[in-house]
Amino acid sequence: MFGLMNCSVSQINIPAVLVANGLGASLMLVILVCKRRQIQKTYNDSRFFYWMCLICFTLCLLETAGFILDGKVFPGARQISLIFNAIILMLSAVIAYLWVCFVDYKLFSDTHRFQTFYPIMAIPAALICLMSLANLFVDVFFSISDRNIYYRTPLFIFPWAVVYGYMTFGAFLFHHYRKRVDKYLFLPVIVFLIPVYLGSIIQLFYYGISVIWPSVALGLTFLYMNLQSEEAYLDPLTNLYNRSYLLHYIQHISKQAKKGRHVIGIMMDVDGFKQINDNCGHSKGDTVLQAVGKVLLRATRDTAVVIRYGGDEFVILLEKTNPHQVQSVLDNIHRELERYNSQNSVYAPVSLSMGIAEFDCKDVFGFFQEMDKKMYNEKRALYSRRAVDEALTSRGEG
């Protein structure tokens, strides 16, 4: 129903329509069942994704019904066709709008941004919905003949342009901003858009088969698989990579050893973190961990992999570096920490003890052991200095 050319009822391949849309609906049903159990506990981006899947499921069913009804004459058939095709156009605009909302919230997680900008962004979709409702009374985007045959009007290009405009804008938004936000994202928008665009072209030239919404279902399924990878590899508190990703990354690097890959690792943990938890509460401790994650991201932007190793420990991996670049990263970390400490009220200034080691792409255990040993040597030296300072202070007071 989403192609641009009209044709006769005889060109409709009902068995192919049933198979394609049945497959699309089945894919969406599986995802909906899996997501339904956790939807109340997730963020807005997951809710957007859930509604996209629900609408796609509905569209697979509606388009199938529309094709089956096309050319069938019985009391009320024309009115049913009008309603179904109007809903299809409305939901097409809505799902495209939700795609942009999903990408934006995935990038920024900013409710205020969403509330101020996206009511304006919704205007094209709202216009399509209103004009589709008007199509129940006057031919706007399509017409239904007395013999219950569907025809497109020249204005049908308008909803088509709005839908693909939304999808293309979502892709632009992601590629333009993904390096400017403090997040790692498993959101390859291409795996969503390619099936959609291919399905559109195929149905444009081969009317009578239904591939648009099965193609959207396939794109959403690919997207769902990548989102599952994100959940497996991202730490939910800091949005950094977690230990599972670290092990995956190290294994990949080890396999590339013959290509001369050079990796420097920096392991660090928060000094006095237990005291922060004990004196300020675990919620404050979580806030400090989130802040440290952002500090490390800002200090290493686009130059390193930042990982929450566990608890208050973090690891930074830098490839193709020289001593000057490593020192530059360390300086950036200290500068960002000073900025955070000057702008935030904390139990004590946040500082990090660090250990640096070079990975030879062979001895993984030795690599982590060397980073850990150097980190704790620095921490012991820090605590020794603090003990001496406290002793001198105590004598002075005495």
Do 175 and 26 share a structural domain?
Answer: yes
pLDDT value at position 384?
75
CB atoms within 10 A of CB 82: 18
307 pLDDT above the threshold of 70? yes
Binning pLDDT at 50, 70 and 90, where does residue 2 land?
very low
Residue 147 sits in a domain whose CATH number is 1.20.1070
| Cβ-contact 59, 74 below 8 angstroms | no
Domain tally for the chain? Answer: 2
Do 51 and 128 share a structural domain?
Answer: yes
Do 254 and 209 share a structural domain?
Answer: no
What's the CA gap between 312 and 274, in Å, rounded?
A: 9
Do 175 and 115 share a structural domain?
Answer: yes
pLDDT value at position 258?
52
Do 377 and 329 share a structural domain?
Answer: yes
Q: Is residue 361 part of a domain?
A: yes
What's the CA gap between 78 and 144, in Å, rounded?
A: 7
Do 212 and 142 share a structural domain?
Answer: yes
Burial (0-12, 13-18, 19+ Cβ within 10 Å), 28: buried
Of 193, 208, 233, at which residue does a domain stop? 233
Residue 366 sits in a domain whose CATH number is 3.30.70.270
Binning pLDDT at 50, 70 and 90, where does residue 260 land?
low
Q: Is residue 2 part of a domain?
A: no
266/232: higher pLDDT: 266
Three-state secondary-structure class, residue 158: helix
103 pLDDT above the threshold of 50? yes
Backbone angles phi and psi of 319, in degrees to 5: -105, 150
Binning pLDDT at 50, 70 and 90, where does residue 185 land?
low
pLDDT value at position 392?
58
Do 284 and 387 share a structural domain?
Answer: yes
Contacts of 18 (CB under 8 A, 6+ apart): 64
State the average pLDDT over residues 138-160: 91
What's the CA gap between 94 and 53, in Å, rounded?
A: 12
State the average pLDDT over residues 127-155: 93
pLDDT value at position 261?
63
Predicted TM-score of the model (pTM): 0.72
Q: Is residue 374 part of a domain?
A: yes
Do 189 and 286 share a structural domain?
Answer: no
Query: What range does the domain containing 256 cover?
Result: 243-397
389 pLDDT above the threshold of 50? yes
Do 162 and 15 share a structural domain?
Answer: yes
Do 165 and 35 share a structural domain?
Answer: yes
Do 313 and 212 share a structural domain?
Answer: no
Do 268 and 150 share a structural domain?
Answer: no
Of 200, 233, 266, at which residue does a domain stop? 233
